[in-house]
Amino acid sequence: MYRSHTCGELRIADVGSSVTLSGWVQATRNFGGLTFVDLRDRYGITQLVFDQEEQPELADQANKLGREFVINAEGVVRERSNKNPNRATGDVEIEVLRFGILNASKTPPFTIEDETDGGDELRMKYRYMDIRRNPVKENLIFRSNLSLQTRIFLNQQGFVEVETPNLIKSTPEGARDFVVPSRMNPGQFYALPQSPQTFKQILMVGGMDKYFQIVKCFRDEDLRADRQPEFTQIDCEMAFVTQEDILNTFEGLTRHLFKHTLDRELGDFPRMSYDEALRRYGSDKPDLRFDMEFVDLNEEAKGKGFVVFDNSELVVGITLKGHADSYSNKDIKKLTEWMQRPQIGAKGLVYVKYLADGVKSSVGKFFDDETLNSWKDKLGAEVGDIVFILSGEEEKTRKQLSELRLEMGRKHELIKDGDFKPLWVIDFPLLEWDEESNRFHAMHHPFTAPKKDDQHRMLNGDHETMKSLRADAYDLVINGAEIGGGSIRIHDRQLQSKNFDLLGFTKEEAEEQFGFLMGAFEYGAPPHGGIAFGFDRLCAVMNGQASIRDFIAFPKNNQGKDMMIDAPSHIDTTQLNELSLAVEIEEKKD
Amino acid sequence: MYRSHTCGELRIADVGSSVTLSGWVQATRNFGGLTFVDLRDRYGITQLVFDQEEQPELADQANKLGREFVINAEGVVRERSNKNPNRATGDVEIEVLRFGILNASKTPPFTIEDETDGGDELRMKYRYMDIRRNPVKENLIFRSNLSLQTRIFLNQQGFVEVETPNLIKSTPEGARDFVVPSRMNPGQFYALPQSPQTFKQILMVGGMDKYFQIVKCFRDEDLRADRQPEFTQIDCEMAFVTQEDILNTFEGLTRHLFKHTLDRELGDFPRMSYDEALRRYGSDKPDLRFDMEFVDLNEEAKGKGFVVFDNSELVVGITLKGHADSYSNKDIKKLTEWMQRPQIGAKGLVYVKYLADGVKSSVGKFFDDETLNSWKDKLGAEVGDIVFILSGEEEKTRKQLSELRLEMGRKHELIKDGDFKPLWVIDFPLLEWDEESNRFHAMHHPFTAPKKDDQHRMLNGDHETMKSLRADAYDLVINGAEIGGGSIRIHDRQLQSKNFDLLGFTKEEAEEQFGFLMGAFEYGAPPHGGIAFGFDRLCAVMNGQASIRDFIAFPKNNQGKDMMIDAPSHIDTTQLNELSLAVEIEEKKD
């Protein structure tokens, strides 16, 4: 037996018990007469004591223990004279009577502490030591709890978890597939699923009624920060439902998860149309933890002789409360430069400060104080506030101002710690016209249904009509992060076929890639819809963390590499031959 | 709203309620004045009634409904005059006041009944209709429940579910990997995991203490009957444990699963060494639902002048109770031929019938009645019984007799319906010597630890010693099916390195493939061990079904093809170019 108790378990009531513990040496402290060893496992840290006088041999051995040695120790629990109130086991210590080294350890390449001195690369290479650290360990345990609670709730609601296949068919639409050569079918390939979308729809056609799955998905994208080639979804689908049913069900799931993992009751789940979200916050995933709503100043600011505004499609502002004095000319200059970076691309930044001794503004030359003061009401501004104004092409300007709004939220700590603001964004456009490729793109995906009232228009309308179609699609946004997205699906062959047409599929392409689905629609497909939650992101948002990486046990780096196992790697020629493949690396042209 | 109730929900207490139902038309019956429609969904079937006289238009429409049309119907619940006690909703019917067709259906290619007329290929191609059938649907729901109960139990025991990566590194050891070309790292490949073995060990080194995962695994094997290229495991690992701890924990899991899905209390989980299992049943996964233990007849049957026995390493028999009269000479001939098929490969089959009027045997010429009668006690045979005897090389003979034993069990229905007999098989050999490749193979896998007492012998012994090493490995067998297998793992670099040596790895190969694991063993690896359950098989065995295929929503056929979506398939040249790959199909040589 390696242990009678864990290292997080013993309390004052256990004093006098004989116990055996196993774990890792967190630290040893030699005070001459006494040696203390902090023994750590997943559950906590317990102090071991060795008395040089009473057990000289044991104490000598203990003094030789290095960090991260794995030992087990037998002894008797006793009360500590010097209690540690910051540790659950801090009232007791173990007077060790016997101990053994289960495994030695080289000196770890970084400290196994909450705040480590290991950089990202070292941590990933030695992930097994990184996981011993509390923050990573707790994240992984949180993730496990969250998945269990997801399953418990959905099961209670009658959902069936069905595993869909990982070796499926490649479909060029959307992101790039990872493919898997088939040895038994030379020259042919499986693809790894970007999502189980078609399979869950097939399950609805199969009468499964309520499906879910917590499932790995794969996308071969050029990795931007915080993207992973494999990621996890809570994937759900329901039959015989309207958007209303789905929103209610998954508001329920979200409430359950917050309640049963964080013990938090969430407030309202307001709903906002896509258009409204863009108008009020310049984003389809607005962070509602703070205000700073957009105020349209076209009427007030255009036609007053300031040519920049006059030539703009939109003049729009936000009010930062109580910070009129926080921005010197130098600060404004810095902020303007920040807004002008290519990532944001604003042309300039106009400010208006409402000060006790008057108004100050970068457009003071063009607008007199009276005019500027007249904007206050509409802006909700008072003395002491500063207003930022952008102008230009409508869509771009809103996006730029959204970035500024978020920056202000972060910079001025407008966000209450531990606050959660959920929001359903609804009524998305069905299709986006892409000037570059001269075709429509699906705003959500090709299986999303237009709103019922728009179906006739979709089947019979002209090109311009298509731009105005609304989808029965919805996103769940929490704290400005898109947590989930879904839609009511098309369940009619004709409508699906029309959608593929609009998206630029030839009949043959549509048939080859999605013929099975359109075929299924001819054999009794019920109305259905669903949603998928980004599980990694949900974990991070619920814990107020910006990165998903430490909620994934073994993440890959930005080159898609696993630094610990050193994957991907070259494979044998034999393997390639069996797969009827040859590697042909082209020289990169400059 | 598509429905107020499901089709499985309404009872006599609901009579008088206005309800809305949605579902599939299972059948329509037109009795002139009345038309009955059986409406089906996942939850059951409810009868709809249309009265020709009162609602002629509705009834006319109902008469036109085809099988598998999706409709919704509003009406009032009323008591049936002609109740159907075989149906949960059989006391009521719905007098329909309004209905609509949500989707039409072509005539299904097979009947949506418990016993269908669809062959395997049709069922797979139109899996969405197959899943509507009760047996498949119930299997998938069972699977979902089983996975939930697994998670609930393991969570209660402190296990953390950790997702390990699917894009890992190819290792030529063991079965063939599926590989995934990396676009970002030209010429390099990921592999899909055959199991998360090394990652779960790494998690133990990472202090996770108790890990589990219900996880997809992948093996590119030539598919034998009832093998799938992707399959699911309940994968578990624990630190600071002995074999005893693991056996107890997973006996607990197994009991929990039977209790909470089948409401069955399992009996004992006996333990049997690998050697004993082979000796008594000729198999390392004996079916204990019936007796027919092997009886060694070397002493009794050899040296009596029958040259076939005399030249055999082993003479061994089994007694079939009460069937002496069931086997005519013709039956014996047929059975002998069955045993001589290449799959089994017996040279012949000897029988001894103990009849009321004497003994009858195919070796009566060589053994007199007195001798044959003298074997009765040892064989546990009485008058009325027939004994089957095989002889030859020991290992082969036992395997052949095991096949005969199982055949007798099936043929003579020696197995009580719904009986479950679990068994732990323990003390497996560590290594198997393979004459052909002139090297050792790992009986379990390369990470399995030798028993503690054998570790010194392993590090210091000679070639013959290696053959006698025993592993700390164990299999859970239920009803003759291997449900789970695992072992205590090596956690010491030196021992692991020695094992790789024995398995024929060069130092470089071992380092390249498993260097990260051996490296991890140098930074405080705790003793650990684990187990993996074959989840698909467990589902099948618990339901007394021979095939795993209908516990998988979308299985592949024996060519590894998904018949519904038609995967694998060819991919674009663009895709191949992006992956720096070319297809090179060699002409098959005859």
Per-residue pLDDT of chain A (590 residues; tens, 9 = 90+): 899 999 999 999 999 999 999 999 999 999 989 999 999 999 999 999 999 999 999 999 999 999 999 999 999 999 999 999 999 999 999 999 999 999 999 999 999 999 988 889 999 999 999 999 999 999 999 999 999 999 999 999 999 999 999 999 988 767 899 999 999 999 999 999 999 999 999 999 999 999 999 999 999 988 777 789 999 999 999 999 999 999 999 999 999 999 999 999 999 999 999 999 999 999 999 999 999 999 999 999 999 989 999 999 999 999 999 999 999 999 999 999 999 999 999 999 999 999 999 999 999 999 999 999 999 999 999 999 999 999 999 999 999 999 999 999 999 999 998 999 999 999 999 999 988 888 899 999 999 999 999 999 999 999 999 999 999 999 999 999 999 999 999 999 999 999 999 999 999 999 999 999 999 999 999 999 999 999 999 999 999 998 999 999 999 998 999 999 999 999 988 899 999 999 988 765 54
CA atoms within 13 A on the CB side of B518: 18
pLDDT tops 80 at residue B63: yes
Which of B89, B81, B80 is closest to B40 using CA atoms? B89
pLDDT of residue B588: 54
User: By the 8 A CB rule, do A72 and A37 touch?
Assistant: no
pLDDT tops 60 at residue B14: yes
- Angle of helix B134-156 relative to helix A134-156, nearest 10 degrees, comes to 140
Q: Cβ–Cβ of A232/B163 closer than 8 Å? A: yes
Beta carbons within 8 Å of A61's beta carbon, 6+ residues apart: A99
CATH tag for B12-103 (out of 3.30.2350.10, 3.30.70.360, 2.40.50.140, 2.160.10.10): 2.40.50.140
A394: which 2 tokens?
A: 């409508």
Is B465 part of the contact surface with chain A (CB cutoff 8 Å)? no
Q: Cβ–Cβ of B186/A240 closer than 8 Å? A: no
Alpha carbon distance A566, A555 (integer Å): 12
Alpha carbon distance B316, B4 (integer Å): 66
A129: which 2 tokens?
A: 């030591």
Residues of B in Cβ contact (< 8 Å) with A2: 240-242, 527
Beta carbons within 8 Å of A507's beta carbon, 6+ residues apart: A497
Which of A398, A407, A403, A381 is closest to A319 using CA atoms? A381
Q: Cβ–Cβ of B131/A208 closer than 8 Å? A: yes
Residues of A in Cβ contact (< 8 Å) with B524: 24, 68-70, 103-105, 129
Q: Cβ–Cβ of A203/B553 closer than 8 Å? A: yes
Alpha carbon distance A112, B326 (integer Å): 72
Beta carbons within 8 Å of A588's beta carbon, 6+ residues apart: none
What is the helix, strand, coil percentage profile of chain B, to 5? Answer: 30, 25, 40
Residues of A in Cβ contact (< 8 Å) with B21: none
> Residue A362 gets which letter from DSSP?
T
Q: Cβ–Cβ of A492/B103 closer than 8 Å? A: yes
Q: Cβ–Cβ of B583/A578 closer than 8 Å? A: no
- State the CATH class of domain A135-265+534-575: alpha beta
Which of A25, A33, A96 is closest to A64 using CA atoms? A25
CA atoms within 13 A on the CB side of A559: 11
pLDDT of residue B587: 61
Domain with CATH 3.30.1360.30 in chain A: 290-411
Neighbours of B438 (CB within 10 A): 8
User: By the 8 A CB rule, do A427 and A273 touch?
Assistant: yes
Which of B272, B219, B210, B204 is closest to B534 using CA atoms? B219
Strand A528-534 with A271-273, pairing: unpaired
Residues of B in Cβ contact (< 8 Å) with A506: none
Which of B480, B485, B468, B483 is closest to B426 using CA atoms? B485
> What is the Cα Rg of chain A in Å?
30
Alpha carbon distance B469, B430 (integer Å): 6
Residues of B in Cβ contact (< 8 Å) with A212: none
| Cis peptide preceding A172, ω within 30 of 0 | no
Alpha carbon distance B107, B128 (integer Å): 14
Domain B290-411 has CATH 3.30.1360.30: yes
Is B181 part of the contact surface with chain A (CB cutoff 8 Å)? yes
Nearest to A569 among B188, B522, B554 (CB): B188
φ and ψ at residue B138, rounded to 5 degrees? -65, -35
- Angle of helix B507-520 relative to helix B197-205, nearest 10 degrees, comes to 40
Nearest to A568 among B130, B182, B241 (CB): B182
User: By the 8 A CB rule, do A209 and B23 touch?
Assistant: no
Residues of B in Cβ contact (< 8 Å) with A207: 24, 40-42, 131-132, 137
Residues of B in Cβ contact (< 8 Å) with A560: 167, 182, 184-185
Mean pLDDT over B58-84 rounds to 97
Q: Cβ–Cβ of A583/B186 closer than 8 Å? A: yes
User: By the 8 A CB rule, do A579 and A183 touch?
Assistant: yes
Is A164 part of the contact surface with chain B (CB cutoff 8 Å)? yes
pLDDT of residue A585: 83
Q: Cβ–Cβ of B565/A198 closer than 8 Å? A: yes
User: By the 8 A CB rule, do B469 and B431 touch?
Assistant: yes
B481-520 residues touching A, CB cutoff 8 A: 491-492, 516, 520
Is B200 part of the contact surface with chain A (CB cutoff 8 Å)? no
Quick check: ipTM above 0.90?
Answer: yes
pLDDT of residue A437: 83
Q: In sequence order, what DSSP letters do the residues of B236-267 get, joined into one string?
A: EEEES--HHHHHHHHHHHHHHHIIIII-----
A445: which 2 tokens?
A: 């995906």
Distance in Å, alpha carbon of B87 to nearest chain A alpha carbon: 19
Is A105 part of the contact surface with chain B (CB cutoff 8 Å)? yes
Neighbours of A33 (CB within 10 A): 11
Can you give the three-state secondary structure of A53-120, one letter per residue?
CCCHHHHHHHHCCCCCCEEEEEEEEEECCCCCCCCCCCCEEEEEEEEEEEECECCCCCCCCCCCCCCH
Q: In sequence order, what DSSP letters do the residues of A272-298 get, joined into one string?
A: EEHHHHHHHHSSSS--TTS----EE-H
Beta bridge partners of B470: B429
A56 CB-contact burial (10 Å; exposed 0-12 / middle 13-18 / buried 19+): exposed
Q: In B212-231, which positions are buried (b, 16+ CB within 10 angstroms) versus exposed (e)?
A: bbbbbbbbbeebeeeebbbb
Residues of A in Cβ contact (< 8 Å) with B182: 560, 568
Q: How many helices (H) and strands (E) does chain A have?
A: 19, 23
Which of A497, A277, A272 is closest to A399 using CA atoms? A277
One-letter amino acid of B322: G
User: By the 8 A CB rule, do A149 and A261 touch?
Assistant: yes
Which of A560, A486, A532, A561 is closest to A232 using CA atoms? A532
Is A225 part of the contact surface with chain B (CB cutoff 8 Å)? no
Q: How many CB pairs below 8 A link A and B?
A: 362
Which of A126, A260, A154, A257 is closest to A214 using CA atoms? A154
- Angle of helix A329-340 relative to helix A394-411, nearest 10 degrees, comes to 130
What chain B residue is nearest to A199 in terms of C-alpha separation? B554
Is A151 part of the contact surface with chain B (CB cutoff 8 Å)? yes
Mean pLDDT over B462-479 rounds to 96
User: By the 8 A CB rule, do B132 and B112 touch?
Assistant: yes
- In Å, how far are A122, A228, B204, B522 from A128, measured between CA atoms? 11, 20, 8, 11
pLDDT of residue B435: 87
User: By the 8 A CB rule, do A193 and A181 touch?
Assistant: no
A381-420 residues touching B, CB cutoff 8 A: none
> How much of chain B exceeds pLDDT 70, in percent?
99
Report chain B's terminal Cα–Cα distance, integer Å.
64
Distance in Å, alpha carbon of B50 to nearest chain A alpha carbon: 22
Q: Rounded to 5 degrees, what angle do the CA atoms B294, B299, B300 make?
A: 80
Is B153 part of the contact surface with chain A (CB cutoff 8 Å)? no
Q: Which of A571, A585, A586 to mutate to test the interface with B (most CBs of B within 10 A)?
A: A571
| Cis peptide preceding B568, ω within 30 of 0 | yes
User: By the 8 A CB rule, do A181 and A581 touch?
Assistant: yes
pLDDT tops 90 at residue B32: no
Nearest to A132 among B167, B207, B578 (CB): B207
Domain A422-531 has CATH 3.30.930.10: yes
Domain with CATH 2.40.50.140 in chain B: 12-103
Residue B173's pLDDT band (cuts 50, 70, 90): low
> What is the Cα Rg of chain B in Å?
30
Is A175 part of the contact surface with chain B (CB cutoff 8 Å)? no
Nearest to A103 among B106, B191, B526 (CB): B526
Q: Cβ–Cβ of A179/B184 closer than 8 Å? A: no
Average pLDDT for chain B = 95
How many residues are recorded in chain A? 590
pLDDT of residue A32: 85
Distance in Å, alpha carbon of A134 to nearest chain B alpha carbon: 10
> How much of chain B exceeds pLDDT 90, in percent?
93
Report chain A's terminal Cα–Cα distance, integer Å.
64
Residue B160's pLDDT band (cuts 50, 70, 90): very high
Distance in Å, alpha carbon of B105 to nearest chain A alpha carbon: 4
Residues of A in Cβ contact (< 8 Å) with B148: 151-152, 155, 161
Domain with CATH 3.30.930.10 in chain A: 135-265+534-575, 422-531
Digit-coded pLDDT (tens) for B33-51: 999 999 999 999 999 999 9
A44-103 residues touching B, CB cutoff 8 A: 68-70, 72, 102-103
